[in-house]
């Protein structure tokens, strides 16, 4: 990942902010402009960007990162139950408790590297997932999940608002966090999270993380203590996941142990690799693609496909629908898996990394051609 100048950072942030804030407009042709899906794009974008700080910069692959997503959700829902339906304390608690949990897991897991580190993080995640259904049931509410109830304490809200007959809604100083307001709240936090990741990447701290990825053993021989840097990266990455988990609770005030399952950890790994490990925009693109497949491709059925290709003659329509049908609806995983294999084989740096590599080859080839023409003339 190349270092970007300060002016380049500002241009990148301006472009990124415009793209994110205008998503409800430019995603209309793709059928993905409804608020719930836009919220997922922003939330899992934060999750993937944070994961990339660990995996992309240090090369340490965590298979248990979803545990912080779950911790963030539980902390946010408890904030709603005990204090207030205002989302600000919920987000703060989600980030804070995830950071503490990441410090505990990182203290043990970072004693090893490579596959042993990955297995340790997976073990912690599965242990947390199982504990949520057993020993920690008083905190997590077991299989039912942690939910809001009408008679929850809500100490801060109780000082200013009388309890109603319906469950209160999450809000930002009175603005309900559902629909597009909920999306724009998540979008602003995504922009801030991306900016922080950009600053980390281009900082001396980020340079040290890249050096660890390049050759940690050599850095150790020079007397450089890599452990504080790895611990910091792990905690920051965990706090990003906690922020994403808290936002899931903001948009849908429910927390369940399924958010900590190993499949959720595998999903963020796929997002990062698909978009491009170590790139800034890659994890965001990967998160968007996977959530698009999950929510749009999975909704297609034979009737919808026949309507889409209704302009074709009946025989040809049936043929096209028959070919495409296994790859949409319940078969959307097959399409995603095929896309993932193609990208890994032909673009090992992910979508963004592959495009960057092809562009550099083109520029280099063009420069060589111009130099050759200059010599001949």
Instruction: Provide the pLDDT for residue 2.
Output: 54
Helical packing angle, 66-82 and 262-275, nearest 10°:
120
Instruction: Provide the pLDDT for residue 377.
Output: 59
CA separation for the pair 194, 46 (Å, rounded): 8
CB 56 within 8 A of CB 277: yes
Instruction: Provide the pLDDT for residue 39.
Output: 96
CA separation for the pair 100, 255 (Å, rounded): 19
Tens digit of pLDDT for each residue in 273-327? 999 998 989 999 999 999 998 888 888 888 888 888 888 888 888 888 888 888 8
Instruction: Provide the pLDDT for residue 20.
Output: 96
CB 249 within 8 A of CB 90: yes
H/E stretch holding 175 reads strand 175-176
> Which residues of the chain fall below pLDDT 70?
1-4, 163-164, 372, 374-377
Instruction: Provide the pLDDT for residue 322.
Output: 87
Report which of 52, 40, 42, 34 is spatially closest to residue 17, judged by C-alpha positions: 42
What residue ranges define each of the domains in the chain, with the CATH number in brackets?
6-260 (1.10.3470)
pTM equals 0.92
CB 262 within 8 A of CB 19: no
Q: Largest Cα–Cα distance in the chain?
A: 85
């Amino acid at each position: 990942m190349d270092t970007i100048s300060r002016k380049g950072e500002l241009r990148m942030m301006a472009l990124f902010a415009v793209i994110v804030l205008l998503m409800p407009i430019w995603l209309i042709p793709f059928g993905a402009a409804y608020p719930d899906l836009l919220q997922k794009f922003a939330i899992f974008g934060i999750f993937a960007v944070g994961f990339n700080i660990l995996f992309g910069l240090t090369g340490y692959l965590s298979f248990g990162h979803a545990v912080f997503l779950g911790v963030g959700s539980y902390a946010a829902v408890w904030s709603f139950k005990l204090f207030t339906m205002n989302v600000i304390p919920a987000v703060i608690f989600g980030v804070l408790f995830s950071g503490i949990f990441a410090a505990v897991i990182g203290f043990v897991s970072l004693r090893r590297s490579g596959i042993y580190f990955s297995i340790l993080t997976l073990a912690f995640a599965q242990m947390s997932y199982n504990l949520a259904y057993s020993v920690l049931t008083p905190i997590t509410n077991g299989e039912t999940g942690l939910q809001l109830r009408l008679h929850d304490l809500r100490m801060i809200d109780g000082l200013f608002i009388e309890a109603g007959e319906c469950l209160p809604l999450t809000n930002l100083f009175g603005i309900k966090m559902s629909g597009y307001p909920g999306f724009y709240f998540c979008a602003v936090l995504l922009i801030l999270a991306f900016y922080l990741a950009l600053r980390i990447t281009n900082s001396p701290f980020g340079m040290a993380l890249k050096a660890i990825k390049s050759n940690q053993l050599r850095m150790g021989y020079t007397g450089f203590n890599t452990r504080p840097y790895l611990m910091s990266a792990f905690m920051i990455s965990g706090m990003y996941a906690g922020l994403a988990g808290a936002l899931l609770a903001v948009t849908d005030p429910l927390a369940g142990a399924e958010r900590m399952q190993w499949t959720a950890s595998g999903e963020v790994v796929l997002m990062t690799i698909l978009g491009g490990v170590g790139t800034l925009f890659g994890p965001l693109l990967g998160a968007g693609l996977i959530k698009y497949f999950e929510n749009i491709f999975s909704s297609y059925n034979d009737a919808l496909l026949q309507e889409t290709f209704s302009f074709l003659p009946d025989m040809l329509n049936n043929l096209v629908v028959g070919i495409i049908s296994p790859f949409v609806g319940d078969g959307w995983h097959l399409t995603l898996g095929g896309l993932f294999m193609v990208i890994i084989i032909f673009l090992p740096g992910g979508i963004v990394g592959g495009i960057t590599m092809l562009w550099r080859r083109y520029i280099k080839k063009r420069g060589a051609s111009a130099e050759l023409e200059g010599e001949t003339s």
